[in-house]
Amino acid sequence: MAMKTYETLKVTQEGTVVTVALHRPQVRNAINMQMVHDLMDVVEIVADANDVDVLVLRGSEGIFSQGIDLRDFSLDKPPDIYGLQKWEKMCRQIETLNKFTVAAVEGHCIGGGVQLVLLCDARLAEKKAVFQLNEVKQGFLPGMATFRLAKYVGLGRAKSLVLRGKPFKAEEALALGILDEVCDRVSFEETLQRVVGELRPFHADALELARRLLNECYAVDYETFIGHFLAAQHRAINSQAFRELIVKAASPKKAQNALKG
Amino acid sequence: MMASSEYRRPFAQNAPRIYSVGTANPPHRYTQQEVLDLYGEKDWKIRSIFLGGHIATRHLYLPEPVNGHVPEESNEELIAKHLRGALEIGPKAIERCLTPLGLAPYDIDFLCCISSTGFLCPGITAHLIRKMGFRESIRRSDILGMGCNAGINGLQAVTDFAKANPGKWALLVCVEICSAAYVYNRSLNTAVVNSLFGDGAAALLVRCDPHASWKDGPRVVDFEPHIIPEAIRAMRFDLEDNKLSFYLDRDIPYVIGLNVRKPIGRLLGRHQLKKRHIQHWVVHSGGKKVIDAIAYNLGLTRYDLRHTVSVLRDYGNLSSASFIFSYKELCLENVVHEGDLAVMITMGPGTSIETALLAW
C-alpha cells in the first residue's frame, strides 16, 4: 500500500496490517473535520489495497480521543449538519470495510472515540482506559452510536450510558460487550498482536457477508433474513476458500482427481 | 495521490443522453389475494407462493370473471390480448415520455420496441406507427423474445443510433403483457410465474446533443453484457397445451448473483471506478430471491435497491420494462447531482446479465 502523510493521523504498515493512529497530541486527539477527511482518505486506500488484511485504529501518546473538537465550529455562521453527515459516512466506511478492523484503546476514549470503537470487528483496551459518551450531557447527540450502542449492550444499558453520560472503565466495557479484550498497559502491544493474529486467516467474502448479516440481524424478520442468509451462504460456498476446504476434506484420491479436473 | 472520493472522470462528454421516461399500466390492479380468489385457488402451496413473494399488487389484463371466477383463455385469446394490451399501454407510455418535451410521435427518428410476451407479425412498431402517427420514414427495430434483460439490449440499439445520428431522437419502448403468457395448469412452476409477472409498458427517449447539460438527463456511457451459455435452459418458454409457458429454474437467482460481479467488475474496471463511486443502482425487479442474491454478491444495501424492491412490490416483475420503472422512481426522487453515476442491471434468459453505466 502506498503510504501518505496526514495532518491528523499517523499511518504505518507492518506486513499486511495497517495501523492508523489518531494524532493531534496538542488537543488530546480531538476529532476535527480535517481528521474526518484524513480518515476517509486512508480508509479508501486501505479498501483498495490488495496487500492489507487488517486495519488497526488507535490513539497516540496514551490517549485514544477526547471526542469532537468544538473549536472546529465557526462562531460566524450557524452550524450545519453536513460535516456531521460526512463523519457518519466515514464511520459507515470503516464499519463496512473489506478488511478486518480492530480498535485498540489506551487512556481516554470519549464521545466520537467511543463511536469509532463501536465500528470495529475486534475491540480491545488496556485496563486504565476510560470511556464516556458525554454528548447529551453537553446538549448534543452521540452520532449514530444512538443506532449502534443498544445492539451491543441492550436498550436499558444504552439509555444509561447515553443519557446519564457517566464515565466507565475498560472492565465495565468488557462486561457490557463493548470490548472483547482487556489487558494491562504493559502487555498492550503484545495483546494487540495476538488479537490481530487471531482474526486470521482472512477470507474477504466470508468476513463481508458474516459481518453484514450480523449488523442487520435486528433489522428484519426471520422470513426476510433467511432469504438474505441463503443468498450470502450461496456466495460463500462458491468461493475459492470453500472449494479448497472440500478438496482437503475429500479422500486423497478424490482430491487428486478433482485437482486434475 | 488524490483521494478516490474526490475522483471525477469527465466521461464521454458527447455520449447520448436519456432525455425522458414514461410508463403505463393496464387500468385494473389486483392484490395477490384477489388473483387467487379470481382463479379459485385453494392449494395452500400455490397460495403461499402468491402471498410470500414480496409482491403486493400487479396491474393485469385478466378476463371478465364469470360467476366470480376468470374463464380459461385460449391461445388465440392470449395472442389477441397481447396486441390489444400493447396498443393500449404502449402509446400511453410513449405519450408520457414525449409530452414533457413538447414532442409528438412525428418528431421521432428511430423506434425500437421490445416484447417477450407474445409473438406477432407485423411487429409492434408497425402497429404503433399506424396508431400514433409516427413518420412513414421512421427507422425501426422490433426485439422479440429476449426476455427480462432485453430493455438494456434495446438501450444499446437506441444509444448506438443516437451516437451515429447526432440531434436525432431515438425512442425505446418496452411493452410486456405478461398476463398473455399465463398458463393455469396448477403446477408449482406456473404458479411461480403467474404470481410474479405483471403487465406494463415503459419508454425512454435518447438523443445526442453536445450542448445539453446534466439537467437534461444522464449520458449513456457504456455497456457490459455477460452471458452464461451453460445455463441456457434455466429460463425459457415451453409449450403447454399449445400455449407459451415460461419456465424458471429454481437455482437461477443464485447463479445470476454469483455471476453478476463479472460484468460489473469489467464495466467499472474499464473506467477505473470502484463500487463506492456509483451513487445509484437501477436493477431489474426479477423477484425476491434474485434481488437478495445481487445485494449480497455486489454488497448493495436496501437503500441502493429501494426502487427495485418497491417496483416489485407495486407492479410485480414487468419483464423488460421493470428497470425503466425503477429509473423513473429515481428521477422522481430528485436526489441526483451533477457528476453522479448510475449502474443499470437487467437479467434474463440466456442466461444473460446486461449492464449499463450512466453519468449525469
Residue A261's pLDDT band (boundaries 50, 70, 90)? low
Whether the pLDDT of residue B1 is over 70: the answer is no
Rounded CA-CA distance B47/B43 in Å is: 6
DSSP per residue over B184-226, as a string?
-S--HHHHHHHHHB-EEEEEEEEE--TT--GGG--EEEEEEEE
Span A53-62, average pLDDT: 97
Contact at CB, A230 and B292, closer than 8 angstroms? yes
Contact at CB, A228 and B297, closer than 8 angstroms? no
Rounded CA-CA distance B126/B250 in Å is: 37
Residue whose entry in the numeric block shows the C-alpha cell 421490445? B114
Whether B250 contacts chain A with CB within 8 A: no
Contacts of B299 in chain A (CB under 8 A): 96, 208, 212
Whether B133 contacts chain A with CB within 8 A: no
pLDDT of residue B8: 53
User: Closest by alpha carbon to B315, among B173, B201, B145?
Assistant: B201
User: Closest by alpha carbon to A31, among A2, A1, A5, A59?
Assistant: A59
pTM for this prediction: 0.91
| Residue A10 · residue A60 · CB < 8 Å | yes
Tens of pLDDT, residue by residue over B290-300, are: 999 999 999 99
Amino acid at A61: E
- Minimum Cα–Cα distance from B258: chain A residue: A235
Tens of pLDDT, residue by residue over B171-219, are: 999 999 999 988 877 788 888 888 999 999 999 999 999 899 999 999 9
Tens of pLDDT, residue by residue over B225-252, are: 999 999 999 999 888 878 888 888 888 9
Whether the pLDDT of residue B77 is over 70: the answer is yes
Question: How many CA atoms are closer than 13 Å to the CA of A18, on its beta-carbon side?
Answer: 26
H/E run at residue B42: none
Whether the pLDDT of residue A260 is over 70: the answer is no
Q: Which residues pair with B139 in a beta bridge?
A: B110
pLDDT of residue B6: 45
Contact at CB, B276 and A44, closer than 8 angstroms? yes
Considering only CB atoms, A231 lies closest to which of B5, B254, B276, namely B254
* Sign of the alpha-carbon dihedral angle for B114, B115, B121, B126: negative
pLDDT of residue A253: 76
Contact at CB, B3 and A230, closer than 8 angstroms? no
Fold of A9-199: 2-enoyl-CoA Hydratase; Chain A, domain 1 (3.90.226)
- Minimum Cα–Cα distance from B260: chain A residue: A235
Contacts of A208 in chain B (CB under 8 A): 299
Out of A48-52, A179-183, A246-250, B154-158, pick the least confident. A246-250
Tens of pLDDT, residue by residue over B245-277, are: 888 888 899 999 999 999 999 999 999 999 999
| Residue B154 · residue B223 · CB < 8 Å | no
Contacts of A37 in chain B (CB under 8 A): 3
Backbone angles phi, psi at B29, to 5 degrees: -120, 135
Whether the pLDDT of residue A258 is over 80: the answer is no
Q: Which residues pair with B29 in a beta bridge?
A: B59
Whether the pLDDT of residue B9 is over 80: the answer is no
| Residue B342 · residue B144 · CB < 8 Å | no
pLDDT of residue A206: 95
Rounded CA-CA distance B205/B218 in Å is: 11
Residue B148 annotated to the active site:
yes
Contact at CB, A231 and B299, closer than 8 angstroms? no
Tens of pLDDT, residue by residue over B115-145, are: 999 888 999 999 999 999 999 999 999 999 9
Contact at CB, A228 and B257, closer than 8 angstroms? no
Whether B1 contacts chain A with CB within 8 A: yes
List, in order, residues 6 or more apart from A27 with CB less than 8 Å away: A66, A69, A71
Whether B313 contacts chain A with CB within 8 A: no
Residue B166's pLDDT band (boundaries 50, 70, 90)? very high
| Average pLDDT of every residue of chain A | 94
Out of A72-86, A95-109, A123-137, B12-26, pick the least confident. A72-86
pLDDT of residue B5: 44
With 0-12 / 13-18 / 19 or more C-beta atoms within 10 angstroms meaning exposed / middle / buried, residue B167 is exposed
Chain A closest-CA separation from residue B253 CA (Å) = 9
Q: Which residues pair with B300 in a beta bridge?
A: none
Contact at CB, A235 and B258, closer than 8 angstroms? yes
DSSP per residue over chain A, as a string?
------SSEEEEEETTEEEEEE--GGGTT-B-HHHHHHHHHHHHHHHH-TT--EEEEE-BTTB-B--B-GGGS-SSS---SHHHHHHHHHHHHHHT-SSEEEEEE-SEEETHHHHHHHT-SEEEEETT-EEE--HHHHTS--TTHHHHHHHHH-HHHHHIIIII---EEHHHHHHHTS-SEEE-STTHHHHHHHHHHHH-S--HHHHHHHHHHHHHTTTS-HHHHHHHHHHHHHHHHTSHHHHHHHHHHS-HHHHHHHHH-
pLDDT of residue B4: 44
Contact at CB, B274 and A232, closer than 8 angstroms? no
pLDDT of residue B212: 93
| Average pLDDT of every residue of chain B | 93
Rounded CA-CA distance B129/B111 in Å is: 9
User: Closest by alpha carbon to A216, among B300, B242, B101?
Assistant: B300
pLDDT of residue B3: 43
Whether the pLDDT of residue A139 is over 60: the answer is yes
Contacts of B288 in chain A (CB under 8 A): 227
Rounded CA-CA distance A97/A89 in Å is: 12
Cell of A83: 460535516
Contacts of B309 in chain A (CB under 8 A): none
- Is the link from the previous residue into B105 a cis peptide, with omega within 30 of 0? no
Most confident of B1-15, B103-117, B244-258: B103-117
Contacts of A36 in chain B (CB under 8 A): none
pLDDT of residue B240: 82
- Minimum Cα–Cα distance from A223: chain B residue: B52
Contact at CB, B4 and A44, closer than 8 angstroms? yes
User: Closest by alpha carbon to B320, among B144, B190, B193, B182?
Assistant: B144
Chain A contact residues (CB < 8 Å to B): 2, 4, 37, 40-41, 44-45, 47-48, 93, 96, 208-209, 212, 223, 227-228, 230-232, 234-235, 238
Whether the pLDDT of residue B54 is over 50: the answer is yes
ipTM at complex level: 0.86
Span A17-29, average pLDDT: 97
Rounded CA-CA distance B297/A225 in Å is: 15
List, in order, residues 6 or more apart from B318 with CB less than 8 Å away: B174, B176, B178, B197, B198, B199, B200, B202, B285, B311, B325
Whether the pLDDT of residue B7 is over 60: the answer is no
Considering only CB atoms, A4 lies closest to which of B1, B254, B295, namely B1
Rounded CA-CA distance A158/A181 in Å is: 20
- From B112, B113, B148, B208, the catalytic residue: B148
| Residue B322 · residue B311 · CB < 8 Å | yes
Whether the pLDDT of residue A259 is over 80: the answer is no
User: Closest by alpha carbon to B328, among B308, B345, B347?
Assistant: B308
Chain B closest-CA separation from residue A212 CA (Å) = 9
Q: Where are the domains of chain A?
A: 9-199, 204-260
H/E run at residue B249: none
Whether B276 contacts chain A with CB within 8 A: yes
Contact at CB, B296 and A235, closer than 8 angstroms? yes
Contact at CB, A41 and B293, closer than 8 angstroms? no
Cell of A166: 457517566
Span A211-234, average pLDDT: 94
Rounded CA-CA distance A86/A80 in Å is: 11
